[in-house]
Amino acid sequence: MKVKSLWLFLCVFVFALFIPFQHVNAASDGNLQKVKDKGTLVVGTSADYPPYEFTVKEGGETKYVGLDMDIAKKFAADLGVKLVIKNMNFDSLLVALETHKVDMVISGMNPTLERQESVDFSKIYYRGKQFMLINKKDTARFKSIKSFKNQTIGAQTGSLQYTLVKQQMKNNEIKGLAKLNDLVIALQSGKVNAVAMEEATAKAFAKNNTGLKVINPQFKVDSSQTGSAIAFPKGDTSMVAAANSTINNIKKQNLINKEYIPNAGKYMAGNTNKNSMLNYWTYFAKGIEYTLLITVVSVFFGFVLGVFFALMRLSHNKFLHWLAVAYIEFVRGTPLMVQVMFVYFGIGTLIQSLPALIAGIIAVSLNSTAYVAEVIRSGIESIPTGQTEAARSLGLSQKLTYRYVIIPQALKNIWPALGNEFITLIKESSIVSIIGVTDLIYQMQLVQSATYKGVVPIFIAMVIYFIMTFSLSKVLGYFEGRMKHA
Amino acid sequence: MLNLIEVRNLKKAFGTNIVLKDINETVEKGQVICVVGPSGSGKSTFLRCLNVLEEPTEGQVLFDGKDLIHLNEEELNGLRQRMGMVFQSFNLFPNMSVLDNVKLAPLRVKKVGEEKATEDAKKLLKQVGLEDKAEQYPESLSGGQMQRVAIARALAMDPEVMLFDEPTSALDPEMVGEVLKVMRDLADSGMTMVVVTHEMGFAKEVADQIWFMDDGYIQEKGKPQDFFTAPKTERARAFLSKMLQ
Ligand SMILES: Nc1ncnc2c1ncn2[C@@H]1O[C@H](COP(=O)(O)OP(=O)(O)O)[C@@H](O)[C@H]1O
Ligand SMILES: [Mg+2]
């Protein structure tokens, strides 16, 4: 037990070592030049917030559109670089910025005082009012903040609206979710009575759902904290200055009201015209492809490394043994979600260009390794010692004994458990969507925001997951049967 | 006569339980030794010390003049090839066919080549009367057949000595005979053998020497007719009267 806690301490210690690096990175400027040198402007956004940012399907491709995207395009053009959009959860945006996964964040983000402590903002480029989305049948009941007494209000976690509801509606219960789409589903199904959101967004949802309505509940807002601005890493003055000059230009020509918002409106109308699920089958197909890719690759590495760690754990070498024990216990004792974020954001601090897909595969593989190692260890330990003795008495080395006698028998015994792990991974890998890997869940969310439909895409994803796991378990069962007769 | 195995001051303890207290014996080439004694007296432990499946606590085990206790893994593997062992519970590899069980060590350790391994294995299976079972898996064999395969498997490495640990104790009575016959043939062919057994008839008939083991010592040894008709120690008399009643 003592040795275990020592390991834990060591791991935390090593983790702590990374933190100073981050600050050194963030404090140095000259980032404008860096962006120009690499020729790309990597922009983080949470594309479920029409008309600021959302997705449309054009020629089978997902396209990020909205007024923020138009601004980002203009900014990139002004800098003379290529625009690269990274779509992720709103919650993850600032972490991505701090860990230099993205050069800037534009996501209808309000420059609150809290946020100003960790990032720098450009000037405000657009100021919308803070509205509330309600069900049409409640129109008579809900007029202003006061009329919501004892009702549950939904808001996007980490958003300005969430803070406003919390501060100005103290008697209300607040339900925070990461995705606006999920909040709208909650509203439609009566889980919440209203959702606080930005004016333009609220209007977009109301326009596309006949059962919904927009009201202005008269939040008191501090004008310095409302409105949307572009976020940059702390101390990134050269980029902020460049962005401000682009924003000045946009304002001078009134581009947002004259071009960008009408533009977004067109896309939104287009989306609603073809929001039958059949139009989006390519989304789901891509999601299946990535989910299977992540699962298969992770199962492979999980198995290879799992054998390795199982043998280490069974080794007579104390150091190897404890190393394996520490790894297995640590991984099994922490949530996969945290591991995925740690690999992407933590290790990503050291390797800037680590793509989300690779990070996701690494995290899921490392996670699976620990579970597979335990399965294999129990499989090996279940083989009677007489087998080893018979092999050794014939002159087989330990290695040959494992290879020809122990491992083949162990594998046969643990085949069902390994198959289970495979099936588990298909389901568990869905967590990688939080770092923006385009797996089935992520694609499902894209379809939700593109179609303004909440439940149907969830149902489809659920059915697809079931078909995948069910057919896999049938296939595995078939091989299990054959192995028994071998 | 050449001393194939020499045991000097052999002691073995499991924790505080001293199982072998002080054993000094030699096995000559071509000899058949039967080790008898009450259960729990340390016979298996003694046998397993001979090929170092069990590491002795003290003393020496010399095989062909080399002390097995101080060998490294590789040298030990080399010497184990020259000593065959047959276990009470057969310990066939269930994941391989009968033929592959017999072929495994020649193929992977001696690296004799697929064809020769197969040919030799078939010959050995014929010798134990099981050539028609080559392609079957162990689970489909009877206990007596399994033990005969185990003997063939051990013989496949062409060992200089065969160690048997109660090879017939796990068998139904009607199958004991077929295994003992194979062992008798082996003894007749001149194989050096150390056999732990409760088959007194077999011991009387086949052994050159009987070693009687009790309480961690070889209490008494001698020719079968002397041991069985006129045991010298009280312990041996008690043991024999129990065995023969
Ligand atoms: N691996 C082991 N660990 C601990 N004690 C053992 C082990 N093997 C044998 N013993 C003990 O050694 C003693 C002798 O056992 P064994 O050699 O199997 O006797 P026999 O074969 O004569 O019946 C027994 O008391 C047994 O419990
Ligand atoms: Mg025994």
**ipTM score:** 0.94
Whether the CB-CB separation of A434 and A340 falls below 8 Å is answered with yes
d(CA B46, ligand 2 centre) in Å: 9
Residue A50: CB atoms within 10 A of its CB come to 29
- pLDDT digit string, tens, across residues B75-84: 999 999 999 9
Phi, psi (deg, nearest 5) at residue A337: -60, -45
d(CA A377, ligand 1 centre) in Å: 27
Report the pLDDT value the prediction gives residue A452, as an integer from 0 to 100: 66
CB pairs under 8 A between A and B: 68
By Cβ distance, the residue of B74, B108, B154 closest to A396 is: B108
A347 vs B95 pLDDT, higher one: B95
Residue B151 lies in a domain: yes
When the pLDDT of each residue in chain B is averaged and rounded to a whole number, the result is 93
Q: Does B135 touch chain A (CB under 8 A)?
A: no
Of A443, A418, A421, A417, the closest CA to residue A430 belongs to: A443
Q: Which helix (H) or strand (E) holds B81?
A: none
Q: Does B153 touch chain A (CB under 8 A)?
A: yes
Q: Tell me the C-alpha to C-alpha distance, in Å, between residue B76 and each of A397, B16, B44, B55, B59.
A: 9, 27, 20, 12, 17
Whether the CB-CB separation of B117 and B106 falls below 8 Å is answered with yes
Query: In this model, does residue B131 exceed pLDDT 70?
Result: yes
Report the pLDDT value the prediction gives residue A195, as an integer from 0 to 100: 93
Confidence of residue B13 (pLDDT cuts 50, 70, 90): very high
Whether the CB-CB separation of A122 and A247 falls below 8 Å is answered with yes
Crossing angle for the helix pair A180-188 and A199-208, to the nearest 10 degrees: 50
- pTM attached to this predicted model: 0.68
CA distance A388 to B91: 9
Q: pLDDT tens track of chain A, all 486 residues?
A: 344 444 544 444 444 444 444 443 433 477 888 999 999 999 999 987 878 898 887 766 778 999 999 999 999 999 999 999 998 888 888 888 888 889 999 998 988 888 888 899 999 998 878 899 999 998 888 888 888 888 889 998 778 888 888 888 888 888 887 778 778 888 887 888 999 988 878 887 887 778 889 998 888 877 766 789 999 999 889 999 999 999 999 999 988 888 888 788 778 766 655 556 666 777 888 888 888 999 999 999 999 999 999 999 988 888 999 999 999 999 999 999 899 888 888 876 777 677 788 888 999 999 999 999 999 999 999 999 999 999 999 999 999 999 999 999 998 888 888 888 889 888 888 888 877 777 888 888 877 776 666 778 888 889 999 999 999 989 888 887 777 655
d(CA B163, ligand 2 centre) in Å: 12
Query: In this model, does residue B125 exceed pLDDT 90?
Result: yes
Q: Does A218 touch chain B (CB under 8 A)?
A: no
Do the chains contact at B109 and A389, CB–CB below 8 Å? Answer: no
What ligand 1 atom has the least distance to the C-alpha of B213?
22
Whether the CB-CB separation of B5 and B159 falls below 8 Å is answered with no
Residue B12 lies in a domain: no
- Residue list, ligand 1 pocket, CB within 6 Å: B 14, 17, 19, 39-45
Residue B209 lies in a domain: no
- How many structural domains are present in chain B? 1
CA distance A258 to A307: 62
Residue B104 lies in a domain: yes
Residue B20 lies in a domain: no
Do the chains contact at A396 and B109, CB–CB below 8 Å? Answer: yes
By Cβ distance, the residue of A400, A408, A409 closest to B109 is: A400
Report the pLDDT value the prediction gives residue A11, as an integer from 0 to 100: 47
d(CA B210, ligand 1 centre) in Å: 21
Q: Does A139 touch chain B (CB under 8 A)?
A: no
Q: Which helix (H) or strand (E) holds B100?
A: helix B98-105
Task: Looking at the CA of B38, name the nearest ligand.
Answer: 1
What would the two tokens of residue A467 be? 């078909």
Residue B86 lies in a domain: no
Report the pLDDT value the prediction gives residue A16, as an integer from 0 to 100: 43
Q: Amino acid letter at A337?
A: M
**Residues in A touching B108 (Cβ below 8 Å):** 396, 400, 404
Site from B74, B95, B104, B135 to mutate, A interface, most A CB atoms within 10 angstroms: B95
By Cβ distance, the residue of A395, A398, A408 closest to B105 is: A395
Chain B residue closest in CA terms to A484: B95
Residue B168 lies in a domain: no
Residue B153 lies in a domain: yes
Report the pLDDT value the prediction gives residue B128, as an integer from 0 to 100: 93
Domain limits for position B139: 92-158
B33 Cβ neighbours under 8 A, 6+ residues apart: B27, B193, B194, B195, B207, B208, B209, B210, B211
Whether the CB-CB separation of A348 and A359 falls below 8 Å is answered with yes
| Residue nearest to ligand 1 atom 25, measured at CA | B40
What would the two tokens of residue A66 be? 């909205």
